[in-house]
Amino acid sequence: MSNDLKLYHSAASPNARRVRIFLAEKGIAIPLAPVDLATGQQRSDAFSAINPRRVVPTLVLADGTAIGEVPAI
């Protein structure tokens, strides 16, 4: 398990699923942080501070850089 990375995702998100499938195919385990899209958690102040575009998936690197596009992740 790499604790240098954290993936914000949602089980209901097809885009987040694309990244989880990639991680599984590569055998990479990283901490997953669920974001509840149904209740609008992606629009919360806390998540907006992580990714101002307010979408999942968002991959946060060890230095705090947040990447919020599947192809870039």
Query: Among 1, 14, 26, 49, which residue sits at the site for ligand GSH (rule: CB under 6 A)?
Result: 14
The reply on whether position 51 binds ligand GSH by CB under 6 A is no
In this chain, which stretch among 1-9, 11-19, 26-34, 59-67 interacts with ligand GSH, using CB under 6 A?
A: 11-19
| Residue whose token pair is 């979408």 | 55
Token digits of residue 41: 């958690």
Binding site for ligand GSH (CB under 6 A): 13-15, 37, 42, 54-57, 69-70
